Structure 1
Amino acid sequence: MLAMSRGRYEVSTARLPQDIEVAQALRARAFGLNAALDADSFDADQRHILVRDRDTGRLACCFRIGVFEGRAIKDSYAAQFYGLDRLALFDGKMMELGRFCVHPDVSDPDVVRIAWAAMTRFVDAVGIRLLFGCTSFKGTDPSGFLDAFGVLAERHLAPPAWHPREVAREVLRFADLAPADSDRKSATLQMPPLLRTYLLMGGWVSDHAVVDRQMNTLHVFTWSCPVLVPVSFEQCLL
């Protein structure tokens, strides 16, 4: 059970079907879906973390987490889109962070701070050694993200031996589209906040993006060691 509070926000773990439904409704709104709920088969097996505003009772943020070891990573959400055979050899607990979203009307940075603090507490308590997930760019047109893709291709690709395989129906090899001289400031602004957080932890990305027409996103597989001081991917695998 994950619970904590800070300032006007409190974190809890969904316990009832109604709790999960509230999270699904927020996800649908935050992701701009033409549906009342964003629901899939993975919701039943993963923990749903809720960040509420205690003053209003409104759900300000939510995400779900799943824990995997070895070949069980192939049962993760990300495994639908990426071949994760190589990471199945990882020796240690892995945590998938998924469906992370903030209410569109909420701009208080403390919401993300407490959400990340709660996730970090879980990582420490369970002994997670690898954090992974899909980080999404809004829309399926890559033209607005070329500087970001350029920086990812130049500085943040995982070593080739650990790249996820291409298994999705539609992929984008973003290094082929990246400008020769990417603007780093522009790249940072183009990246989704969750991706920037992964990279601050020394994270790596896949060498391709998946075009997800259903969610209207381009997403990259992203993973890192969940530590405060960035380390190399090779160190993470020791």
Structure 2
Amino acid sequence: MTVGFPKGRYVARFAASAADVLACQRLRHRCFFGTSGVDLDQFDASWSHLMIEDGTDGPLVCTFRMRQSPAAAVQDGYAGQFYDLSGLAQTAGPHIEIGRFCTDPATPDPHILRVAWGALTQYVDACEATILFGCTSLTGTDPAPYARVIRALQDRYQGPHALMPGAIAPEVIRFGEKTGDADQRPMPPLLRTYLAMGGWVSDHAVVDRTMDTLHVLTVVEIAKIPPARARALRALV
């Protein structure tokens, strides 16, 4: 992807220094934990970090990290800690895993997400990736507020059996289990976007106590993105 990809008032670029990565980690901590701090793990050093800034040299308003790999190496990434990805490992590559996707809650501009998808589309096309995947989070570890979302994922968005991720995490929510009916929160925008691209999800959610989230393994097969959606994504570029 071209460094300095502009779209309206925003600029998307890859982190180019340790200070850039630190800025991403600080935004992640604020978004995921609600406090000042630095969110980091063993994967940060070997992944690429995409930054979306409000103007050239402006504040960071969105970030996510990504990792390109051959299909046979998908188990070595972040998602491989929680899911058995042996099905995906048999598919043609290259694959791109993305994670830690977050936007600054103080800048609630829906255009930021469009810029992020434009930048990601450019990157996917440049490396001729066949599959995009990652862990998509639901805030909190209680499944009850997401009973309606979970039922929709179970009924409408299950992936092919041959590619379905297996459960290896110590604590999971199997789809179909009784989860209650409290609150009924909406589907998160990022997950909704993946599904609109023809994406599918795992048959269970992982309970992540460290991040205080539930997450599902989300997969987008690039060749199966609806043509109209693919044209709209490329129009963003």
**Normalised by the size of structure 2, how large is the TM-score?**
0.89
Does the residue aligned with 1:145 lie in a helix, a strand or coil? helix
184, 204, 211: which one aligns with 1:208: 204
Question: How is 1:71-90 mapped onto 2 (pairs within 5 angstroms)?
Answer: 71-90=72-91
Q: Give the paired residue count.
A: 225
Q: Which amino acid in structure 2 is aligned with residue 143 of structure 1?
A: A
Where in structure 2 are the equivalents of 1:69-218 lying within 5 Å? Answer: 69-177=70-178, 190-218=186-214
Deviation string for 1:102-134 (max 9, x for gaps)? 001011111111011000000001101100000
SS of aligned partner of 1:222 = strand
**1:44-93 Cα distance to aligned partner (Å, 9 max, x none):** 11110000001781100001110111221111110000001111101121
Partner of 2:22: 21
The offset of 1:2, in angstroms, is 3.6
2:198–2:224 CA contact under 8 A, matched in 1: no
Q: CA deviation at 1:190?
A: 1.9
Q: Which residue of 2 aligns with 1:234?
A: none
Maintained 8 Å contact 1:201/1:227: no
Query: Offset of 1:158 from its aligned partner?
Result: 1.1
Runs of 4 or more, structure 1, over 4 Å off, are none
The one-letter code matched in structure 1 to 2:177 is D
Structure 1: any 5+ residue segments left out of the alignment? 232-238
**Aligned-residue CA RMSD (Å):** 2.1
Shift of 1:34: 5.5
Confirm or deny: 8 A CA contact 1:171 1:210 kept in the other structure. Answer: yes
Give the share of equivalent positions with the same residue, in percent. Answer: 44
Aligned pair 1:30/2:31, yes or no?
A: yes
Asked if the contact 2:11/2:56 (under 8 Å) is kept, the reply is no
SS of equivalent to 1:153: helix
